[in-house]
């Protein structure tokens, strides 16, 4: 039997397909958040779902992140499988108490009696000229919290399939969708299934250095690897996919092979996810390194509105390429 033909789609449509499949296959699943129903979602990811599944399962909420996130926790404790959409990661700070002090701790504080099978989706990152209150990458903050799983789908298949896997998890899962990726087009299998959320993916194999990233920055890493290949530098590119837990085995295995590592993280450098990964590499593969680990992060300023300043603040292909050249040429 021949394999199913891949179909052209977009990241946005992949997210919508995941939501549709989840609502269709499990009547306990419902979606709620600001503008997810009649408006079809701020990023059009839930367009058409209200008409198909009705207002009981696609629920528009008041503009109160703490309230509707708390409602999601209560529904999860009551046996439902809620998907809470918070428009952008910046707004999730209004629900920080619910996420960190409640969802993440219920299992521990109940002595293992009460799980919280809650999925929270939100857009993250810059590149769309939405200014400082809508454009930061704070997923590294949440990756610091025990009791949460933190996912960052960078591909169409992950944007669709990670949601289905997350809904099978008995504990809270946060999914960070890079806003700049929503229009990204690519191929998507017509066969819908859950995907692994436990392992990083080696997207491109190489021998000279490892480029480790996730989300929107992954594609900049791939662009840098393509440019470096023209100069005879063979870069391996890793998509982290899961930010908590991190897949140490894949990361360290790659670094031991290439002996050099660049971590690309759209978060700020100080206290970043990139710093955590760098520390793990130093702890587990220090004597395998031929050069210090490099970190490429966003400039430590509130995200600018002006397009040229926003791009200057974010990691770019050119900065990855320059770092790679330094590492490979200077260290042989």
The pLDDT of residue 233 is: 96
State percent of the chain over pLDDT 90.
90
Q: How confident is residue 2, by pLDDT bands cut at 50, 70 and 90?
A: low
The pLDDT of residue 4 is: 63
| 196 close to 140: Cβ distance less than 8 angstroms | no
Tell me what the mean pLDDT of segment 128-135 comes to: 86
Tell me what the mean pLDDT of segment 277-285 comes to: 97
Q: Which domains does the chain have, with CATH numbers?
A: 8-188 (3.40.50.970), 201-331 (3.40.50.920)
Q: CB neighbours (10 Å) of residue 5?
A: 8
The pLDDT of residue 132 is: 87
The pLDDT of residue 182 is: 96
State percent of the chain over pLDDT 70.
98
Q: What is the pLDDT of residues 143-192, one digit of tens each?
A: 999 999 999 999 999 999 999 999 999 999 999 999 999 999 999 988 88
* Burial class (CB within 10 angstroms; exposed 0-12, middle 13-18, buried 19+) of 172: buried
| 87 close to 120: Cβ distance less than 8 angstroms | no
Q: How confident is residue 128, by pLDDT bands cut at 50, 70 and 90?
A: confident
Tell me what the mean pLDDT of segment 56-81 comes to: 97
Please tell me which residue, 266 or 135, carries the higher pLDDT value.
Answer: 266
Instruction: Catalogue the active-site residues.
Output: 65, 134
Does the structure show a pLDDT above 60 at 3?
no
Asked, as a colleague might, if the bond just before 245 is cis with ω within 30 of 0, I would say yes
Does the structure show a pLDDT above 60 at 331?
no
Does the structure show a pLDDT above 90 at 258?
yes
Q: How confident is residue 332, by pLDDT bands cut at 50, 70 and 90?
A: low
| 247 close to 200: Cβ distance less than 8 angstroms | yes
CA distance 154 to 264: 13
Which residue blocks in 143-193 are alpha helix, DSSP H?
156-168
Furthest C-alpha separation in the chain: 62
Does the structure show a pLDDT above 90 at 130?
no
CA distance 105 to 99: 9
| 156 close to 187: Cβ distance less than 8 angstroms | yes
The pLDDT of residue 135 is: 87
């Amino acid at each position: 039997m021949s394999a199913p033909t891949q179909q052209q789609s977009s990241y946005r449509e992949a997210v919508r397909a995941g939501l549709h499949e989840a609502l269709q296959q499990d009547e306990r699943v419902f979606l709620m958040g600001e503008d997810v129903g009649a408006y079809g979602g701020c990023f059009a990811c839930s367009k058409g779902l209200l008409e198909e599944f009705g207002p009981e399962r696609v629920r528009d909420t008041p503009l109160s992140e703490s309230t509707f996130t708390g409602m999601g926790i209560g529904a999860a404790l009551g046996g439902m499988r809620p998907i809470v959409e918070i428009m952008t990661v910046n707004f999730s700070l209004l629900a920080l108490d619910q996420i960190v002090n409640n969802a993440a701790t219920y299992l521990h504080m109940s002595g293992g009696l009460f799980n919280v099978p809650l999925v929270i989706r939100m857009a993250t990152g810059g590149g769309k000229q939405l200014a400082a209150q809508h454009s930061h990458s704070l997923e590294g903050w949440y990756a610091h919290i025990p009791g949460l799983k933190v996912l960052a789908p960078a591909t169409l298949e992950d944007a669709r399939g990670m949601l289905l896997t997350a809904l099978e998890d008995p504990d809270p899962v946060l999914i960070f969708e890079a806003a700049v990726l929503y229009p990204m087009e690519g191929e998507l299998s017509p066969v819908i299934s859950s995907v692994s959320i436990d392992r990083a993916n080696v997207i491109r194999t190489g021998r000279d250095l490892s480029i480790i990233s996730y989300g929107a920055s992954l594609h900049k890493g791939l662009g840098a690897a393509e440019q470096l290949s023209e100069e005879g530098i063979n870069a391996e590119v890793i998509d982290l996919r899961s930010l908590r837990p991190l897949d140490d085995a894949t990361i360290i295995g790659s670094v031991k092979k290439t002996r050099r590592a660049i971590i690309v993280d759209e978060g700020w450098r100080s206290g970043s996810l990139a710093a955590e990964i760098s520390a793990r590499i130093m702890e587990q593969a220090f004597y395998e390194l031929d050069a210090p680990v490099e970190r490429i992060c966003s400039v430590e300023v509130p995200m600018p509105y002006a397009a040229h300043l926003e791009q200057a603040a974010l990691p770019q292909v050119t900065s990855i390429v320059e770092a790679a050249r330094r590492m490979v040429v200077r260290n042989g």
